[in-house]
């Protein structure tokens, strides 16, 4: 359980404000990922506060820069970076704990959270709201060209989801969907082949080899000519 950086009291899930001293805490990074500030005012604006965010280095395999708002503690990751952070922040998960995945989502679900569309800090176009992974309970704001925005508290939510085996469950579901689609495609292909075979086998000109019988075709043509001239 996270503790308040000011008074060390335990922090409640989904609440960055300490219920004892009232100080707002950054529960995502402090005590979980080491970082240092690189640039105090980047040219990227916070989608919530519309203020310049600071650029920080998470020091993952060398330099690893992301943007962080000092007011709301939201985080912006360039494309592909959030997956790297989750891999670094959680040791290898070797099993799926479905009950724990459910508990994480229920404990951290914010029923009164305002739903709104935010602008990408890079291009200022509205981002898409997308569920992150199977049963994570986190809906992220994603710019298809530039990256992902996480509200304060959502990174720790995803770290706990992954630790419970959520990423493994998501990968398993993806494999099952691909396999089901492949089976459906194979069935459709077999149906078309079977239909074509039935049509060919029903031809009056088919020989025992499965190919058109030339003698039958020529004979029918001559018979048609004779009937035409001697009718």
- Read off the pLDDT of residues 88-100 as tens digits, 9 standing for 90 and up: 888 766 788 888 8
pLDDT band at residue 226 under the 50/70/90 scheme: low
CA distance 189 to 186: 5
Higher-confidence position of 74 and 188: 74
- What one-character DSSP code corresponds to residue 191? H
Asked if residues 184 and 127 have their Cβ atoms less than 8 Å apart, the reply is no
pLDDT band at residue 128 under the 50/70/90 scheme: very high
Share of the chain above pLDDT 70, in %: 77
pLDDT at 212 over 70: no
List Cα–Cα distances, 91 to 86, 102, 190, in angstroms: 9, 20, 45
- Name the residue with tokens 């981002």: 127
Task: Taking residues 18-26, report their average pLDDT.
Answer: 79
Asked if residues 124 and 44 have their Cβ atoms less than 8 Å apart, the reply is no
pLDDT band at residue 222 under the 50/70/90 scheme: low
Count the helix, strand and coil residues of the chain and give each as a percent rounded to the nearest 5: 35, 15, 50
pLDDT at 205 over 50: no
Domain assignments of the chain as residue spans, ordered by start: 36-164, 173-229
Higher-confidence position of 13 and 212: 13
pLDDT band at residue 5 under the 50/70/90 scheme: confident
CA distance 68 to 39: 10
Task: Taking residues 151-158, report their average pLDDT.
Answer: 90
pLDDT tens string 64-75: 999 999 999 999
């Amino acid at each position: 359980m996270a503790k308040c950086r000011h008074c060390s009291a335990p922090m409640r899930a989904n609440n960055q404000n300490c219920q004892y001293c009232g100080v707002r805490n950054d529960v995502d990074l402090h005590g979980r990922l080491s970082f240092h500030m690189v640039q105090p005012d980047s040219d990227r604006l916070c989608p919530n506060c519309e203020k310049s965010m600071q650029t920080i280095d998470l020091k993952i395999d060398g330099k690893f820069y992301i943007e962080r708002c000092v007011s709301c503690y939201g985080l912006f990751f360039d494309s592909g970076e959030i997956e790297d952070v989750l891999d670094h922040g959680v040791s290898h998960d070797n099993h799926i704990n479905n009950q724990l995945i459910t508990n994480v989502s229920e404990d951290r679900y914010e029923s009164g959270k305002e739903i709104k569309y935010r602008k990408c800090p890079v291009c200022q176009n509205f981002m898409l709201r997308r569920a992150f992974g199977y049963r994570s309970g986190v809906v992220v704001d994603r710019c298809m060209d530039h990256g992902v925005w996480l509200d304060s508290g959502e990174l720790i939510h995803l770290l706990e989801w992954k630790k419970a085996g959520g990423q493994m469950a998501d990968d398993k579901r993806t494999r099952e969907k691909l396999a089901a689609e492949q089976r459906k495609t194979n069935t459709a292909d077999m149906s078309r082949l079977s239909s074509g075979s039935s049509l060919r086998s029903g031809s009056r000109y088919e020989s025992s080899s499965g190919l058109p019988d030339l003698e039958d075709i020529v004979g029918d043509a001559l018979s048609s000519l004779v009937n035409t001239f001697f009718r």
